Amino acid sequence: MCASLSIPLQYAGRTLGALKVYSTRPHVYTADSEDILGRFADQAAILLANMHTLSEAEALEERLLQALRDRDLIATAKGIVMLRENLDADRAVQRLLELSSQRRIAVREVAAEIVASTHTETV
């Protein structure tokens, strides 16, 4: 390698990386080369920022969907506990929390086991 040119990929005041080009010929890059690469780097930075934003939005969407599924599962388990143990809604939630704490597993896992046990009882 005899020559290189490096331009930062910047967007909204953040550096996202760098765009680098290399040549085996010496002194091949000019001010025009730097300008052209800079324009390309600007577009590449926008693309990278948009991809990152999209990725974050997709991850948030998945977390929200999972939270909704968990909420429904826990609500179902709460109803089962209310029926099985003749508890009101608040006490049933406390019971789920107690089981979670005692077993050192997430409330969602306790709820899944309770719901699954109901399915096996009715089969």
39 and 74: one domain?
no
Q: Quick one: residue 13, left, alpha or beta (phi over 0 = left, psi -120 to 50 = alpha)?
A: left
pLDDT tens readout for residues 56-111: 999 999 999 999 999 999 999 999 999 999 999 999 999 999 999 999 999 999 99
67 and 48: one domain?
no
Q: Which of 57, 72, 101 is the last residue of a domain?
A: 57
Write out the residue range of the structural domain in which residue 19 sits.
Answer: 3-57
pLDDT at 118: 87
18 and 48: one domain?
yes
User: Model's pTM, two decimal places?
Assistant: 0.58
DSSP state of 2: -
pLDDT tens readout for residues 23-38: 999 999 999 999 999 9
Amino acid at 101: S
Asked if 109 and 115 touch (Cβ cutoff 8 Å), the reply is: no
67 and 89: one domain?
yes
Structural domains of the chain, count? 2
Q: How far apart are CA 78 and CA 95, in angstroms?
A: 9
46 and 77: one domain?
no
Q: Given the structure tokens 């953040």, which residue do they identify?
A: 14
Amino acid at 33: S
Q: Is the pLDDT of residue 116 over 70?
A: yes
